[in-house]
């Protein structure tokens, strides 16, 4: 079902096409929006292709912004923030850098524009008024056959822009399509070239693979295409790492993560990467003693996750969130035995909803027991904000006024006081000061 924003963009795109045609130009819907419309999926964005050159488009539409003069791209918007991308039909020369064409030529023939695109299902052109579809590349047949196929020679398409290999995986995963054999073979041959792509572009494509739907199939396709060991060798290492069957009857770490991705729905990027990397420390900590063990895998995995996220140029904020998921995922096994203060501190971790969802998926993909998950949810429902984060009874200033010299022991005293609050052992300022004196006098004594 179309969202109000999507519907507004479609209305704007149709109005732009009518206006351009009234001025004697060719104009159509192009790209992914046509694919999605034909599949019955509400497009998020609408792109217009035209033979009008950028200067003309800017002159015709007052609320326009030239964003890619070299590529003929203009953003046409409305005062309420709705926008549509309008691009001049073009053909392209060689791609020397594996990302952008060295030169483009504006065209009047929409067929030339279709043939320079990546995949046949993205090369369809549609008249939104009559509904007529112009198909110069066999895209309709591939939509019906549920196939992702490169336009022309796959290796040429992937040499032009190496990221197209990841896009093929994303499209196939999200749409639950197959990758055409010759296209798959082209990716497998050129997979090592993906490392020439900027980490930021790889990161963004991986996020989309993991969050747009079909994450499990996306990971399987990354492996099948040979892209996985190039960009995430630490995840490739999950394969064949067995786990104790009494806790993980599903099999090795690879199978476990695939099952978690299968259960995962509407994940944030940080949760998705938390799921992907939560057991990244297991391959390097595997040992067999009384049973299979992974001693310290959460701690080692946190450091490994930090390195991976840094390599992919994640923001510090997002990296911290993912690392926290990896570092804390094993703590759930202890919640039934935690002191009240320890449990409350655990429950107030930032973005705890992601921690809880990661745990739920972890359970569903292993022994299936959600006892701990249900317990934590019940405790969260029972505890109000004041119980989780009680207001401080005293501060460091109160300790100074009581005659104590500031130092590291202040932090210890205040922590002991908060623990007593969380345990329900003290409620007043006087009780807090008495407890602080016992701690500080013991230290100073």
Q: Which residues contact 136 (CB under 8 A, 6 or more apart)?
A: 110, 111, 114, 115, 123, 125
Q: How far apart are CA 175 and CA 138, in angstroms?
A: 18
Stretches in the chain below the pLDDT threshold 50:
445
Q: Summarize pLDDT for 189-218 with one digit per residue, the tens.
A: 999 999 999 999 999 999 999 999 999 999
Of 145, 178, 208, the position where a domain reaches its end is 145
Residue 82's alpha-carbon distances to 4, 63, 403, in angstroms, are 10, 11, 63
- From edge to edge, which strands make up the β-sheet containing 64-68? 64-68, 73-77, 83-88, 47-50, 27-30, 125-126, 133-134
pLDDT at 72: 82
Q: For 200-329, where are the E strands, in sequence order?
A: 286-288, 292-294
Which one-letter DSSP state was computed for residue 119? B
Q: Are residues 277 and 317 in the same domain?
A: yes
Note whether 5 and 27 are same-domain residues: yes
Same domain as 326, residue 184: no
CB 177 within 8 A of CB 148: yes
Q: Give CA 217 to chain center in angstroms.
A: 15
Number of domains in the chain: 4
d(CA 309, CA 312): 5
Residue 76 CA to residue 356 CA, distance in Å, equals 42
Neighbours of 444 (CB within 10 A): 10
Same-domain status, 193 and 69: no
Q: Max alpha carbon distance in the chain (Å)?
A: 92
Together in a domain, 245 and 363? yes
This prediction has a pTM of 0.90
Report CA dihedral (243, 249, 253, 258) to the nearest 10 degrees: 180
User: Domain check: are 349 and 406 in the same one?
Assistant: no
In 3D, which of 117, 121, 115 has the Cα closest to residue 149? 121
Q: What is the DSSP letter of 180?
A: P
Distance CA 160, CA 100 (A): 7
Q: Name the residue range of residue 9's domain.
A: 1-145
Q: Would you say 256 and 294 are in contact if contact means Cβ atoms under 8 Å apart?
A: no
Q: Which of 364, 388, 412 is the last residue of a domain?
A: 388
Q: What beta strand segments (E) does 131-190 contain?
A: 133-134, 147-148, 178-179
Q: What is the CATH classification number for the domain harbouring 10?
A: 3.30.460.10
Cβ–Cβ under 8 Å, residues 118 and 151: yes
74-133 residue pLDDT tens: 999 888 888 999 999 988 756 666 566 666 788 999 999 999 999 999 999 999 999 999
What is the spatial distance between Cα 279 and Cα 282, in angstroms, rounded to a whole number? 6
Of the three residues 145, 169, 185, the one that is the final residue of a domain is 145
List the end-to-end C-alpha distance of the chain, in Å, as a whole number: 71
| 10/16 Cα distance (integer angstroms) | 10
Q: How far is CA 103 from CA 49, 96, 163, in A?
A: 18, 10, 19
Q: Do 20 and 118 belong together in one domain?
A: yes
Contact by Cβ (8 Å): 128, 13 = yes
Which run of H or E residues covers position 75? Answer: strand 73-77
Task: Tell me the three-class secondary structure of 382-417, residue by residue.
Answer: HCCHHHHCCCCCCCHHHHHHCCCCCCCHHHHHHHHH
C-beta separation of 261 from 213 below 8 A: no
**Same structural domain, 141 and 152:** no
Would you state the pLDDT for residue 292?
84
Is 16 in the same domain as 134? yes
Residue 14: how many CB atoms within 10 A of its CB?
18
Same structural domain, 22 and 130: yes
* One domain for residues 337 and 428: no
pLDDT at residue 94, as a whole number = 65
Q: Which CATH number characterizes residue 367's domain?
A: 1.10.3210
């Amino acid at each position: 079902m179309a969202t109000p924003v999507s519907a507004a963009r479609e209305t704007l795109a149709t109005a732009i096409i009518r206006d351009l045609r009234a001025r004697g130009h060719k104009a159509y819907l192009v790209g992914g929006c046509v694919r999605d419309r034909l599949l019955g999926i509400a497009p998020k964005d609408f792109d217009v292709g035209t033979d009008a050159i950028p200067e003309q488009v800017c002159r015709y539409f007052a609320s326009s912004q030239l964003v890619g003069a070299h590529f003929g791209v203009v953003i046409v918007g409305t005062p309420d923030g709705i926008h549509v991308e309008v691009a001049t039909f073009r053909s392209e020369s060689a791609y020397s850098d594996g990302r952008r064409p060295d030169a483009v030529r504006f065209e009047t023939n929409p067929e030339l524009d279709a043939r320079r695109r990546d995949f046949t299902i993205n090369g369809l052109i549609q008249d939104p008024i009559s509904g007529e579809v112009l198909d110069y590349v066999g895209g309709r047949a591939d939509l019906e056959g549920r196939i992702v196929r490169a336009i022309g020679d796959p290796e040429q398409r992937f040499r032009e822009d190496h990221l197209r290999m990841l896009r093929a995986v994303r499209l196939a995963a999200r749409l639950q399509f197959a990758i055409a054999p010759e296209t798959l073979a082209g990716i497998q041959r050129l997979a090592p070239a993906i490392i020439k792509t900027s980490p930021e572009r790889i990161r963004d494509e991986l996020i989309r693979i993991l969050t747009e739907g079909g994450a499990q199939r996306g990971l399987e396709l990354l492996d099948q295409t040979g892209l996985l060991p190039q960009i995430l060798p630490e995840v490739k290492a999950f394969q064949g790492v067995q786990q104790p069957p009494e806790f993980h009857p599903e099999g090795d770490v690879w199978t476990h993560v695939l099952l978690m991705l299968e259960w995962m729905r509407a994940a944030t990027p940080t949760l998705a990467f938390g799921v992907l990397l939560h057991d990244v420390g297991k391959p390097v900590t595997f040992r067999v003693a009384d049973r299979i063990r992974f001693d310290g895998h959460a701690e080692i995995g946190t450091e490994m996750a930090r390195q991976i996220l840094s390599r992919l140029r994640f923001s510090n904020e997002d990296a911290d969130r993912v690392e926290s998921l990896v570092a804390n995922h094993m703590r759930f096994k202890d919640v039934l035995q935690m002191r009240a203060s320890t449990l409350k501190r655990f429950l107030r971790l930032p973005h705890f909803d992601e921690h809880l969802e990661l745990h739920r998926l972890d359970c569903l993909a292993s022994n299936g027991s959600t006892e701990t998950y249900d317990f934590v949810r019940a405790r969260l429902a029972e505890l109000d904000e004041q119980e989780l984060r009680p207001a401080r009874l005293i501060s460091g200033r109160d300790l100074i006024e009581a005659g104590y010299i500031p130092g590291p022991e202040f932090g210890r005293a205040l922590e002991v006081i908060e623990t007593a609050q969380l345990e329900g052992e003290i409620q007043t300022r006087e009780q807090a000061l008495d407890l602080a004196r016992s701690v500080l006098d013991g230290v100073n004594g």
